[in-house]
């Protein structure tokens, strides 16, 4: 049983499913749980669609309680009837930690793949993880020591994206495929993978795009001439959910996110997994995040960090600028983008720093999915239901 509830988890779950089948070709796996298009394509029976449960924010979760509880009951009943040898929970902590507690009490073996960021906020949750999880599979080197010190059986498997993000075509080929001009600057806009993230981030990004498009020869900081914009869709986002304002042309990119990032000269990225993807692509970025005022007031006091972007956390310092909550405006985003692209030395340094982050994440041989697959079978005691 594999349970993911957002776009990044869907991607990691799909990679895990493929790795299990490739490493154990003699086994006919019955894989089921929660996920999206990528997990379905990898042969996972998704009883819950990740697009329907990718919800963030306290008020939003409260309003969607019925939908989330329905998903919880569906997965709980599926586990009881299908009796998986092991349950793999991928990220999505507010949901998955509750599911882990219930299933572990009923005797199911639990593997948690992609750690909840308890080292950053709500550290008390580590007690529940120690109680309910048989093996924690972490994707950042620093997490292994944290969980081992807490007495949790943990293994660092490497980052699932480490060997995945790379270009598969040239800039000219990419631009021809998507109706872009390879000679003009390309700016990527990545607003997130959840509906609320689209609601808060996309208008800000489009406002910044409008400001960046309107080149002012009297403004020496306005250094981007004739830019073009693209929006790579996350697997949990439908094209019809992207509402453009008609003032800025944006190419909507489906199923080609990594090439879109690799070919972008700079990107504006919502804080989350996409910042790691952009870092692995070597693309300088401006990291943003904005949510409702009530979420900000409730959640911010629980966070014990001064920086939020995952790549900046991995680097241990702020490589790329971050604009959070009230600082995230179209005007500020445009200013940061202009400031970066108008300074070639800064761009070069950012690319060098991103290369160093990539080296940290790709330090281990093989893929994270392969190592995770071996751990999953090990926790199952070599017993796989077929």
As a whole number of angstroms, the distance between CA 132 and CA 384 comes to 21
Kindly state the tokens that stand for 76: 């709980």
Distance, CA of 318 to chain centre: 19
Q: What is the mean pLDDT of residues 355-380?
A: 90
**Which of the residue ranges 48-57, 168-177, 224-233, 290-299 has the most confident prediction, judged by mean pLDDT?**
168-177
Domains of the chain in sequence order: 2-163+364-379 (3.40.50.2000), 171-361 (3.40.50.2000)
Task: Give the pLDDT band (50/70/90) at residue 386.
Answer: very low
- Is the model's pLDDT at 219 over the cut of 80? no
pLDDT in tens, 335-349: 999 999 999 999 999
Q: Which residues contact 177 (CB under 8 A, 6 or more apart)?
A: 169, 256
Examine the pLDDT at 206 and tell me if it is beyond 70.
Answer: yes
Question: Is residue 209 over pLDDT 80?
Answer: yes
Helices of type H across the chain: 7-23, 37-41, 50-53, 58-63, 65-82, 93-105, 126-132, 141-149, 171-178, 195-213, 257-263, 273-281, 293-299, 310-315, 330-341, 344-361, 368-379
Confidence bin at 141 (pLDDT 50/70/90): confident
Spell out the residues 6+ positions from residue 264 whose beta carbon is closer than 8 angstroms to its own: 186, 187, 188, 230, 281, 283
Collapsing DSSP to helix, strand or coil, 111 comes out as: strand
Which 8-state DSSP code applies to residue 266? E
pLDDT for res 172:
98
Query: What is this structure's pTM?
Result: 0.84
Q: Kindly report the length of the chain.
A: 386
pLDDT at 384 (0 to 100): 57
What average pLDDT does the segment 39-60 reach? 81
Mean pLDDT of 169-197: 95
pLDDT above 70 (res 55): no
Q: Would you say residue 227 has pLDDT above 50?
A: yes
Average pLDDT in the chain = 89
pLDDT score for 124: 87
Number of H helices, E strands in the chain: 17, 13
pLDDT of residue 61: 53
CA distances from 270 to 276, 323, 344 (A): 11, 10, 24
Report long-range pairs for 118-127 (Cβ below 8 Å, ≥24 apart). 119/143, 119/146, 120/303, 120/304, 120/305, 120/313, 121/299, 121/302, 121/303, 121/304, 121/305, 122/302, 123/304, 125/93, 125/97, 126/150, 126/152
289-326: pLDDT as tens digits: 998 666 555 555 555 556 778 888 888 889 999 999 99
DSSP 3-state assignment of 192? coil
Q: Model confidence over 233-264: pLDDT tens digits?
A: 988 888 998 988 778 889 999 999 999 999 99
Residues 207-220: what's their mean pLDDT?
76
């Amino acid at each position: 049983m594999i349970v993911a509830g957002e776009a990044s988890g869907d991607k990691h779950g799909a990679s895990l499913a493929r790795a299990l089948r490739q490493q154990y070709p003699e086994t006919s796996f019955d894989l089921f749980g929660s996920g999206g298009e990528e997990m379905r394509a990898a042969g996972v029976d998704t009883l819950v669609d990740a697009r329907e449960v990718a919800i963030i924010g306290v008020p939003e979760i409260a309003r969607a309680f019925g939908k989330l509880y329905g998903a919880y009951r569906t997965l709980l009943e599926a586990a009881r009837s299908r009796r998986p040898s092991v349950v793999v929970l991928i990220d999505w902590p507010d949901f998955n930690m509750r599911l882990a507690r219930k299933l572990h009490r009923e005797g199911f073996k639990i593997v948690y793949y992609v750690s909840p960021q308890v080292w950053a906020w709500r550290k008390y949750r580590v007690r529940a993880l120690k109680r309910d999880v048989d093996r924690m599979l972490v994707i950042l080197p620093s997490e292994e020591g944290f969980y081992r010190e807490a007495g949790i059986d943990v293994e660092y498997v490497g980052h699932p994206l480490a060997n995945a993000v790379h270009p598969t075509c040239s800039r000219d080929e990419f631009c021809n495929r998507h109706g872009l001009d390879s000679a003009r600057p390309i700016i990527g806009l990545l607003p997130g993978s959840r509906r609320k993230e689209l609601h808060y981030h996309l208008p800000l990004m489009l406002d910044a795009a409008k400001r960046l498009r309107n080149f002012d020869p009297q403004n020496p900081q306005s250094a981007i001439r004739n830019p073009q914009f693209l929006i790579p869709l996350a697997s949990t986002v439908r094209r019809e959910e992207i509402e453009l304002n008609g003032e800025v042309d944006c190419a909507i990119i489906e199923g080609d996110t990594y090439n879109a990032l690799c070919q972008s000269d700079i990107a504006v990225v919502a804080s989350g997994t996409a910042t790691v993807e952009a870092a692995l692509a070597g693309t300088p970025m401006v990291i943003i995040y904005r949510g409702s005022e009530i979420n900000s007031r409730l959640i911010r006091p629980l966070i014990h960090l001064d920086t939020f972007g995952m790549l900046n956390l991995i680097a241990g310092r702020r490589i790329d600028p971050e604009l959070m909550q009230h600082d995230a405006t179209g005007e500020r985003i445009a200013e940061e983008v202009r400031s970066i692209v108008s300074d070639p030395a800064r761009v070069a340094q950012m690319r060098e720093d991103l290369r160093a982050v990539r080296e940290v994440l790709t330090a281990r041989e093989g893929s994270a999915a392969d190592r995770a697959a071996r751990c999953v079978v090990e926790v199952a005691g070599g017993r796989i239901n077929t």
